[in-house]
Amino acid sequence: DAGITQSPRHKVTETGTPVTLRCHQTENHRYMYWYRQDPGHGLRLIHYSYGVKDTDKGEVSDGYSVSRSKTEDFLLTLESATSSQTSVYFCATQWDPSYEQYFGPGTRLTVT
């Protein structure tokens, strides 16, 4: 495992409030990813980072932003949470594109 932690592990928030999820890794992996998992959809990529301050969009990036100011931390922000963003969010890291991705334990977010 790549020493990945996610915080918080569970969160309930109200529609319209901002939410930030944190992913922290201890393995100095260059690449970091945010996915959301929903029944019937598997995991879908939200955003990813290929280095400090280098990020790009995934397939479901609308309503989300990310930041990476340090190698070890990758933040996912929901600027104004909506009920459609209720999901389980997973962070993943990767040493190099030719290697596998390692996943964190997930954050369950409920937007009421």
* Residues forming the site for other proteins (CB under 8 A): 4, 31, 33, 40-45, 48, 50, 58, 90, 92, 94, 97-98, 100-106
22 or 50, CB closer to other proteins? 50
85 or 107, CB closer to other proteins? 107
- Residue 44: its H or E element: strand 42-51
Structure tokens given for 40: 């019937």
Distance of closest approach, residue 83 Cβ to other proteins, in angstroms: 22
- Residue 34: its H or E element: strand 31-38
Distance CA 35, CA 51 (A): 17
Distance of closest approach, residue 24 Cβ to other proteins, in angstroms: 14
CB 21 within 8 A of CB 6: yes
Query: How many C-beta atoms lie closer than 10 Å to residue 24's C-beta?
Result: 18
17 or 28, CB closer to other proteins? 28
Distance of closest approach, residue 40 Cβ to other proteins, in angstroms: 6
16 or 105, CB closer to other proteins? 105
Closest CA to 32 of 77, 7, 67: 67
